[in-house]
Amino acid sequence: MPLQLKIFTLNCWGLALLSKNRKSRFEAIGEWLLANPVDIVCLQEVWLMRDFNFLQETLIDLLPYSHYFYSGVVGSGICILSKHPIEETFFHQWSVNGYIHKLQHADWFGGKGVGLCRLKIVDDKDTYFANVYTTHLHAEYNRASDEYQAHRVLQAYDTAQFILLTSQSADLIVLAGDLNTEPEDLPYRVILTVPGLVDSFVQARDVPQEKMATCDSFRNSYTPPMLLKTQKLGKRIDYVMYHPGTNVTINLKSYDLPMLERVPKKSFSYSDHEGVLVELSISHNSKSGLNQPDEAAKKLVLEECIDLCKDALKSIANAKIFYWFIVVFMCIFIICSLVFPAVYTVPVVTDNPIIFSVCRVLLTGLTFFAFLMATLWSPIEMHGVLSGKVAMEVSLKKITKNS
């Protein structure tokens, strides 16, 4: 009999203080998983260890194996709970992940990346080794003017390469998480084409409209009213993707968004995202795995990614010049104000010690910030983009040579 495997993923929206009804929602998530047993759970935005510990303790009988991927300042926010033993784990942190000074976005502080748990699944006489990956790509804060597009594309490529290079011996490959990218966007196409994954939603085909959006759904209590007025269904950015290993067949049995209803006896939803539940049927056979990567599609995707990286490198170079301009200008201004105080200072400021001290601190801070951005941050970001670009060029060269 084929192995039946249920995989669930959810962005839990677990920010301390900022996320509404966080404690009650985590309790509800635990209760839902107790009432609806699954085999593998991939969670994102579990930022507080007490929330992870709560789920771990609540689900210990159903999901006795778990792993939290520690990273960055506040943790990666991603974790995996499993019914089956976790034999190996690994976390790959991305080289580019937002900006340290964008405190309002704060993605950098999570030290985001892609986590891997290698599971040993024993079913009757069959044994399967599954590589389960979970991740949470950089958020898209403004689709019309997306300053993080290059970062997200590079994260997608890193994730795709990481899956490709670590899954050769796996019988089953699963990627589940919040990819912050919509279907047909470049990061989505990168993740699908490079390792040859299957999007379970696409494989399911006839999914009802009300079960398409995993974020900003019109049924979710946390969807902003302004978005509801647009009468859009929302967007699909949470995924369960998979690929069979050699001599393994995978059939999709079901695709569902099982948390569309509000928390029982409450007026709020489980999260600002919808959970995705996929059931797979897995069996051994004498043929190699299906859905091998499409080399032509992969070539087009890589070319598009390389062009985007080139534009990003130009933007970083221009930003570096801008920061150096601020440093030089401020240094000249400070020197001139010391040499010619009557000309380069404002009496209202210099005559008031408090205002003068505040201005001096602000100007010094601005100069120091610009200096750090020019000498440290810009080279780090540039090298991160270059690293991804060079890797893409190596892959592209290989495809071109073989075609």
Positions of E strands within 45-171? 65-68, 79-82, 86-93, 113-123, 126-136
d(CA 378, CA 240): 35
Asked whether 116 and 80 are in contact (CB, 8 A), the reply is no
Query: What distances in angstroms separate CA 242 from CA 126, 257, 306, 317, one per listed residue?
Result: 20, 17, 26, 38
One-letter amino acid identity for 334? I
Q: Which residues are catalytic?
A: 273
d(CA 171, CA 186): 28
One-letter amino acid identity for 142? N
- Residue 200 makes CB contacts below 8 A (sequence gap 6+) with 239, 240, 241, 242, 252, 255, 276, 278
Task: Sheet with 172-178: list strands edge to edge.
Answer: 86-93, 113-123, 126-136, 172-178, 238-244, 198-199
Nearest to 132 by CA among 142, 145, 119: 119
d(CA 197, CA 175): 8
One-letter amino acid identity for 293? P
The tokens describing 90, both together, are 């690994």
d(CA 261, CA 264): 8
Tell me the sheet residues that pair with 142.
none
Helices 186-193 + 149-166 axis angle, to 10: 10
Query: What is the DSSP annotation of 264-292?
Result: TTSSS-S-SB--EEEEEEEEE-SS--S--
Q: What is the DSSP letter of 148?
A: T
Tell me the sheet residues that pair with 65.
82
d(CA 162, CA 158): 6
